[in-house]
């Protein structure tokens, strides 16, 4: 993978992908903002981070990176690659469920499918973490988290362009599912992303 190229302006295809990323819509519980993107993974990259907040408490966090290599990448099978991370608190007893890892991966696959976000070469891991306290912290309750790390290659649509919006919104859906939020009822439209302030 080549280092990021220093250019005056990004390729039009990547600039459009960034615009689509910025235009993605998420549920009101999701606060999304741009963050510095990795510099050495691909010639061009953009990234956002997100927190899911319910009743003033952050219940999930994540980030999404969109990579672009105009020369293509054999491992990606594409010129674009999405790299996602999701972490959410879960009930400690859920961590002992051997099916939780598969369930976490299914959340992503179904979210991409529900959004019509076609993809190639998916890859990733689902990690279950439980923390117990001892000694002076013995009275603290045990905590547990699920972490999803995944990457996939968006498939261009009929016009030959990649619709990053669908992929970003699918990632947002996984964040909310991992946080335990109920599905949005049919017909309810997600709100535009709030950036720069939480508005709470």
Digit-coded pLDDT (tens) for 92-103: 667 666 777 888
**What is the CB neighbour count within 10 angstroms for residue 64?**
26
Query: Considering the entire predicted model, what is its pTM?
Result: 0.83
Which one has a higher pLDDT value, 188 or 145? 145
pLDDT at 115 over 80: yes
**Residue whose structure tokens are 């976000």:** 117
Specify whether the CB–CB gap between 88 and 57 falls below 8 A: no
**What is the CB neighbour count within 10 angstroms for residue 82?**
27
User: What's the pLDDT score for residue 5?
Assistant: 46
């Amino acid at each position: 993978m080549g280092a990021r190229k220093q250019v005056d302006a990004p390729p039009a295809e990547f600039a459009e992908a960034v615009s689509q990323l910025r235009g993605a819509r998420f549920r009101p519980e999701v606060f999304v903002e741009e963050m510095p993107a990795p510099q050495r993974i691909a010639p061009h990259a953009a990234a956002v981070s997100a927190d899911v907040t319910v009743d003033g408490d952050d219940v999930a966090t994540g980030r999404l990176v969109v990579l672009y290599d105009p020369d293509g990448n054999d491992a990606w099978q594409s010129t674009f690659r999405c790299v996602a991370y999701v972490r959410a608190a879960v009930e400690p007893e859920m961590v002992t469920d051997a099916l939780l890892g598969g369930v976490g991966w299914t959340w992503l696959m179904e979210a991409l499918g529900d959004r019509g976000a076609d993809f190639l070469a998916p890859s990733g891991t689902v990690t279950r973490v439980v923390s117990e306290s001892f000694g002076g912290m013995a009275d603290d309750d045990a905590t547990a988290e699920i972490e999803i790390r995944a990457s996939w290659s968006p498939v261009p649509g009929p016009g030959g362009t990649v619709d990053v919006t669908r992929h970003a919104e699918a990632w947002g859906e996984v964040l909310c599912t991992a946080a335990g939020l109920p599905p949005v009822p049919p017909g309810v439209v997600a709100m535009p992303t709030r950036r720069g302030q939480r508005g709470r």
